[in-house]
Chains A and B, each alone.
Chain A
Amino acid sequence: MTTSELSLATAAPIVVRRPGRAKLRRRIAIASMLAPTVLGLLIFFIYPLIASVYYSFTRYDLLSSPQWIGFKNYRFMFGKDPLVWQAARNTLWFVVILVPVRVVCSLALAGLLVRARRASGFWRTLFYLPALVPPVASVVAFVFLFNPGTGPVNQILHWFGIKGPLWFSDPDLAKPSLVLLGIWVVGDIMIIFLAALLDVPSEQYEAASLDGASGWQKVRFVTLPHISPVILFAAITGVIAALQYFTEASVASAVASGKATVGGGSGDILGYPDDSLLTYTQWLYFKGFANYQLGYASAMAVVLFIVAAVFLVLLLRKVKAFNPEGAS
């Protein structure tokens, strides 16, 4: 963006003696405020987006320069790479299970908090805190809590005569175990729902009561219409987050397998147990930065971009705060 593009059509009126010079000074000031960000967008957003598409048609290992190979990366991805489908399925699992579970749990928790009234500040802090814990720390904690041998969860189950399962070491239970973690850190969405619930005008509840509405009818006809935009926001941002689900799965695999290196190193940690935690972004990372198949990783990135873009467009259309209008 150049200075000349910053035409200040609707700028505030300024009282000045020499309008020409003042206008120029103002333009320079505004340009200097925006320059770093515009440069940042060019270097870290526009250029990499274009370059990713270019690299996706090449074979590139960082040592020699990129070599044009046409659609080979895409053909390999859709036809021959057996793990990319496994990885995509796992990511899809998190999108379909983790996101709704978190939305429902956070909504229920926010509903409970609204009714707690006076003590709600205390409970809000309590339920929000886990969301702040560094994800690596919460994953390490959960793998310990659920470790089959000595973990507290299986001990408590043992008191009730239940033989605890293998949790993070069982290919069928590793993902559900991460959902339990996802519920523990549900505070980030809960706070947003809480604010939305407190915003519902109380007169409308009173009016509904006068009309003889039952508790459920009040939820259905007063609460839900008010908070549905927030639910939509939470759901779509949740999907975008789930598409890039990485840290929790990667750390859970590393810690539960008990092996020394993380991420980059060897393939037997990746997705442990039995590729059940191998997500799409982890496979992208592994291909690109452990195997240095940067062209192939770029092809995976382009596909990820296309999928994410669908939800992005949805979000931009539905969420008012993301509209550029309203600069005053």
Chain B
Amino acid sequence: MTRTVLSWVGNRAILIAIGIIFVAPVVFVVLTSLMTSDQALTATLIPHHWEWSNYKNVFDAAPLARWFGNSMMYAVLATVFMLLSSVPAAYVLAKIKFRGSGFLFLCIIVTMLLPPQVTAVPVYVMWSHLGLTGSLWPLILPNLLGDAFSIFLMRQFFMTVPREYVDAARMDGCGEWGALLKVVVPMAKPGIAAAALFMFFQCWNDYYGPLLYTSENAAHWPVAYGLATFRGAHGTNWELTMAMTVLVMTPIVLLFFFAQRIFVEGITVTGIKG
């Protein structure tokens, strides 16, 4: 009996200790973001005076509003474009067999897993011939032509829609588009939402893409890329760098709390059981 009590406490103690270690980085970042610039240069952990104006000043130190706007445009347009192109493709791969469907699926899996650097040079050359390097369009427009990971994720969800429902829609004369839009999409909404969220997060967090296409044009930087350059430009101001770090994290964390269940479900589905 005492052993079980002890092991219960033991388990909790370990979890609580690890929990504190996991939370600590964020706490220190937030605390530092509220220090005066003089204090941020000293070795102290708690602000003497809570300098909320850092969050206003950081907008003067860098074109943050513009960068946030760029991130928003990139993430929203890429997500909408992805949905337009990838929902139908995922439906076909989940619900219709045809000659070549296996090969098509294989291509999508390989595209999804292949390091983007492998194809980077020819793709960059293509965009530069089109005169679109220096902007975010090379990162947004390809989503009109399907995103491999989203197609894979949504296909896994669409497979769970019972075949009878799809067949019933077909027999009602809906056709394939009707079966997709009237039956599969309403029934697999969580899967589509998960794919949209992942896409939004991926764009918001993207560093490599903006580095490749916009690094010479600060007016087009998304905010995550801007953050990477910020410390170099404002070397001594840890408090402003930390305030900007908090601002970059916040939308993602908020979005996660609003859609937590969808998110966890999405990860588990991609998480490949056996």
Binding site for B on A (CB under 8 A): 1, 5-15, 25-26, 29-30, 32-34, 36-41, 43-49, 51-52, 55, 62, 109, 112-113, 115-116, 123-130, 132-145, 147, 149-150, 152, 154-155, 158, 184, 188, 191-192, 195-196, 199, 229-230, 233, 237, 240, 243-244, 246-247, 250-251, 254-255, 257-264, 281, 284-285, 288-289, 294, 297-298, 301-302, 304-305, 308, 312, 315-316, 319-322, 324-328
Contact = CB atoms under 8 A, between A and B. Distances in A.
21 contacts: A7-B99, A8-B96, A13-B167, A15-B171, A32-B88, A33-B92, A36-B145, A37-B108, A45-B114, A134-B227, A144-B242, A149-B43, A191-B264, A258-B235, A263-B215, A284-B117, A301-B117, A308-B113, A321-B270, A321-B272, A327-B93
Given A51-B122, A258-B232, A134 B204 contact: yes
Interface of B is mostly: helix
Contact of A144 (B18, B32, B120, B270): B32
A260 B151 contact: no
B228 A36 contact: no
A36 B144 contact: yes
A-B residue pairs, 4 tightest by C-beta? A40-B145, A37-B146, A192-B271, A33-B88
B99 A62 contact: no
A300 to B, nearest CB: 8
A123 B21 CA distance: 13
Interface string B215-245: 1100000001101111111010010011001
B159 A328 contact: yes
B256 interface: yes
Contacts of A11: 96-98
Task: Among B104, B119, B253, find the residue whose CB has the most chain A CB atoms closer than 10 A.
Answer: B119
Given A33-B180, A188-B267, A140 B113 contact: no
A136 B211 CA distance: 12
A327 B101 CA distance: 9
A145 B23 CA distance: 13
Contacts of B156: 321
Given A134-B205, A188-B267, A324-B106, A140 B116 contact: no
Contacts of B117: 244, 246, 281, 284-285, 301, 304
Given A11-B97, A49-B119, A298-B121, A285 B151 contact: no
A289 B208 CA distance: 12
Interface of B: 11-12, 14-15, 18-19, 22-26, 28-29, 32, 40-45, 85-86, 88-89, 91-111, 113-126, 128, 142, 144-146, 151, 156, 159, 163, 166-167, 170-171, 175-177, 180, 201, 204-205, 207-208, 211-212, 215-216, 224-225, 227-233, 235, 238, 241-242, 245, 248-249, 252-253, 256, 260, 264, 267-268, 270-274
Which of B44, B45, B88 gathers the greatest number of chain A CB atoms within 10 Å?
Answer: B88
B273 A199 contact: yes
A32 B245 CA distance: 43
B101 A260 contact: no
Contact of A240 (B94, B115, B144, B151): B115
Contacts of A109: 18
A137 B267 CA distance: 22
Contacts of B98: 5-9, 11, 30
Contacts of A149: 43
B176 A260 contact: no
Given A33-B91, A129-B253, A192 B268 contact: yes
B161 to A, nearest CB: 9
